Amino acid sequence: MTSTSPTRRPDTYTSNSILRGGSRQSALILQAPRQRYTLVDDYPIPELHGATEILVKTEVIGLNPIDWKSPDFNFGIPHFPFLAGRELVGTVSQSHAASRFRSGDRVIAISTDYRDGRKAAYQEFAVVLSCNAVKLPRHVSAEQGAALGVAFVTSALALGSCFGLSFSNIMGGPDLTSVIKGVGDKRIPEDVRYEALHSIQDHERALEGDWVAIWGGSATSAYLSIQLARLAGLKVAVVVDQARHGFWLSTDSHARPDLLIDNSDPDRAVEILSATVGERLYFGIDTNGKESASFLLGALQRRRRDPRHSPSPPPTPPARVERRAHLVGLAGLPETAENGKHVQTHSVPLKLFHELPEVGQALCEWMETLLCSGRLRAPRILGNHFGLADVNNALDRMRNGEIRGGKLVVTV
């Protein structure tokens, strides 16, 4: 017989006294496209909608390029006024009795569900799905934790879903391909269903020893992708501004690539990549944009034959299954890219993280394990601004290209 605690009912919530002062808060609101965010001091504190949600008091917000690109170019904004912000570290203020989180727990909150303003980071209190939260280890600072979440999820899905790389041999990590297929077609959102279920075949999945090329290695997502790829036994080639980022990348014990190529001459970079890796290059991640993604696509198209599927030919060569190359574009894909029998392009299905609890929880629990063990390192913190009102100034620094090779955070 299963016993229940006599002091905690499964249909009740626990609250921190910090909520007893009222139901209003400060928040940063986008009123219209191509405007700055506006500080509002009388915004309602969001309410929980079930046992799977927790309420978190924001301490530190992590800033992402999407935070300034969305208002500037008017995309990814479902309505106005709009609450933005994708990641934060904070303290649990309210949780359901059945939750693994308790009031006072410090957590990393990852909000990929930008359509639900309750979950946005640019406010004093935010709702977080329990399956999208990570307990912050004691040795990880709030600033470091606030810089990790979105990049980790993006990188893990790029490698684990788009490329089919299994993390099962890394401290109990997930085999995302198996997790997603186990969920079934009907629960996977239609707009990412093909990507999630059919974009890579079993014989094409990335395996230990395979090469992955990452163009734009200074981006936070690249920094996490390098770490996860290395943990899984992939060999990593990074194309980056060597003068700015070559030294710190090559001396970082967690993210040191196997091959570092300067990006000042993209055609030359492709030549070096092809000459060095050649037929072994089947996976590429671009973090910069359509132009650099087109160069990386060219490198993938220049590969020849895969030694794994083409052993030294006997008198009568056996038939082999064609293995396509795979390209993930984190900031856009080339307009000329056509999926065919040689190359498959991918957009990371981030929606799976918050739509499928199985995926969200698997990634968050694994991230927690990696952080506790010290096998995952946070990006460099290049600046810390203070107060919601200073978010605009921090985003201006990102617009101006001042922030490269690390993250900006804002202490609330």
Condensed to tens digits (0 to 9), the pLDDT of residues 388-405 reads 999 999 999 999 999 999
CA dihedral 404, 153, 285, 201 (to 10 degrees): 180
316 lies in some domain: no
Condensed to tens digits (0 to 9), the pLDDT of residues 280-338 reads 999 999 999 999 999 999 999 986 444 444 444 444 444 456 889 999 999 999 877 66
Domain that holds residue 157: 153-304+321-352
- CB-based contact 77:33 (threshold 8 Å): yes
Q: How does DSSP classify residue 53?
A: E
123 lies in some domain: yes
390 lies in some domain: yes
13 lies in some domain: no
Average pLDDT, the chain: 91
Give the CATH number, domain containing residue 337: 3.40.50.720
Q: 201 vs 128, 164, 232, 254, 267, CA distance in Å?
A: 34, 8, 19, 30, 30
Question: Do both 217 and 293 map to the same domain?
Answer: yes
| Six token digits for residue 170 | 């890394």
Question: Do both 298 and 397 map to the same domain?
Answer: no
Question: Do both 72 and 159 map to the same domain?
Answer: no
Question: Do both 176 and 74 map to the same domain?
Answer: no
Condensed to tens digits (0 to 9), the pLDDT of residues 33-63 reads 999 999 999 999 999 999 999 999 999 999 9
16 lies in some domain: no
Question: Do both 199 and 166 map to the same domain?
Answer: yes
Q: How does DSSP classify residue 79?
A: S
Condensed to tens digits (0 to 9), the pLDDT of residues 204-215 reads 999 999 999 999
Question: Do both 251 and 128 map to the same domain?
Answer: no
The Cα 363–Cα 368 span in angstroms is: 9
* Mean pLDDT in residue range 358-366: 98
Name the domain count of the chain: 2
| Six token digits for residue 226 | 């390098």
Whether 241 shows a pLDDT value over 80: the answer reads: yes
Give the CATH number, domain containing residue 389: 3.90.180.10
* Mean pLDDT in residue range 263-281: 95
The pTM for the full model equals: 0.91
27 phi and psi angles, rounded to 5 deg: -150, 160
357 lies in some domain: no
Residue with the two structure tokens 């788009």 = 162
366 lies in some domain: no
Residue with the two structure tokens 């996976």 = 283
Question: Do both 341 and 208 map to the same domain?
Answer: yes
372 lies in some domain: no
Task: For residue 129, count CB atoms less than 10 angstroms from its CB and return exposed for 0-12, middle for 13-18, buried for 19 or more.
Answer: buried
Sign of the torsion angle spanned by Cα atoms 178, 332, 301, 244? negative
Q: For the chain, state the CA radius of gyration.
A: 22
Whether 217 shows a pLDDT value over 90: the answer reads: no
- Model pLDDT, residue 2: 39
Question: Do both 120 and 214 map to the same domain?
Answer: no
User: Helix or strand or coil: residue 343?
Assistant: strand
Amino acid at 117: G
Question: Do both 129 and 177 map to the same domain?
Answer: no
- Model pLDDT, residue 21: 52
Question: Do both 286 and 396 map to the same domain?
Answer: no
Question: Do both 157 and 300 map to the same domain?
Answer: yes
Question: Do both 118 and 158 map to the same domain?
Answer: no
Confidence of residue 341 (pLDDT cuts 50, 70, 90): confident
